[in-house]
Amino acid sequence: MFDDKSAFTDEKFAGDQKVGKSIFGKLEQKLVNKFVAKIPKGIETYHLTISTLIWCAFIILFSFLAKYNIHWLWGVSVMIVFQYITDLFDGAVGRLRNTGLIKWGYYMDHFLDYIFLCSILIGYSFILKDEYNTLFFILVAFGAYMVNSYLAFAATNKFKISYLDIGPTEVRLIFIIANALIIFNYGDEHIPLASILPYILAFAIVGLIWVVYDTQRYIWKKDIKEKQKIANNPTDSVTK
């Protein structure tokens, strides 16, 4: 485990600076700029981050209750919206108030993003039991996107969580739409979400292949460029 006595380096950390674009990215930035200063002083960045655990617990509870009354899925959608709001503002609040929890926020925020994703798919497993295996593989695929982001960040110090103009916000919206489709069509022989799950999985896998290919190509070029730089200036590598 980590040793509390070990020294922290002064290396510049860029985990709080996301790169890439998404469909709703510009609109989100406008919302943050307009409302972040209005967050009550008693609500700190770490409160907003940890609140994801609350939303996850209610997502699982409401999904379980949806087995008996499908309209509980509306509660799941509300929890997704709440998680979106707290996730959108946690980092912004920290930067505005200079809380200083940059690395802690990076770690906890994105670990809890994975827990949030798990809670939604666990919830669907209560309703879509026959499609449990497909849900599992979707979780694996989405988890692979996260792993790719973290490994790429370690290699490049650039943190990217949006691919093909699709980021966490767009994924949340897909879940909310899926909930509405299930509610309005529940009781039919085939639930719409169940029938499209294989297509979601296929799209996720194809997208993952492209993302990994593009990422490794970028890192490859970065390594070669660094190698050429050292070859042209061998004294720099010695002084470093």
pLDDT over threshold 70, residue 46: yes
* CA proximity to 216, closest of 155, 144, 130: 155
What's the average model confidence in pLDDT over 42-61?
Answer: 95
pLDDT over threshold 50, residue 6: no
pLDDT over threshold 60, residue 146: yes
Range from 169-173, 187-191, 230-234 carrying the lowest mean pLDDT: 187-191
Does some domain include residue 76?
yes
* CA proximity to 153, closest of 50, 25, 17: 17
Does some domain include residue 11?
no
Does some domain include residue 147?
yes
Q: In this predicted structure, what is the pLDDT of residue 8?
A: 47
**Which of 50-59, 145-154, 164-173 shows the highest mean pLDDT?**
50-59
Q: In this predicted structure, what is the pLDDT of residue 18?
A: 66
For residues 101 and 20, the model is more confident at 101
Does some domain include residue 239?
no
Q: In this predicted structure, what is the pLDDT of residue 194?
A: 65
Has this prediction a pTM greater than 0.75?
A: yes
Q: In this predicted structure, what is the pLDDT of residue 103?
A: 87
pLDDT over threshold 80, residue 12: no
Does some domain include residue 198?
yes
Does some domain include residue 12?
no
For residues 71 and 195, the model is more confident at 71
Does some domain include residue 4?
no
- Token digits of residue 89: 């503002």
Does some domain include residue 2?
no
Cβ contacts of 137 within 8 Å, gap of 6 or more: 201
pLDDT over threshold 80, residue 10: no
Confidence of residue 45 (pLDDT cuts 50, 70, 90): very high
What's the average model confidence in pLDDT over 47-70?
Answer: 95
Helices (H) then strands (E): counts for the chain: 8, 2
C-alpha–C-alpha distance, residues 122 and 116, integer Å: 10
* CA proximity to 198, closest of 190, 186, 210: 190
Is there a contact between 175 and 33 (Cβ–Cβ < 8 Å)? no
CATH number of the domain to which 206 belongs: 1.20.120.1760
pLDDT over threshold 70, residue 5: no
Please give the tally of structural domains in the chain: 1
The parent domain of residue 135 ranges over: 22-229
The pLDDT tens digits of the residues spanning 115-131 come to 999 999 899 888 876 66
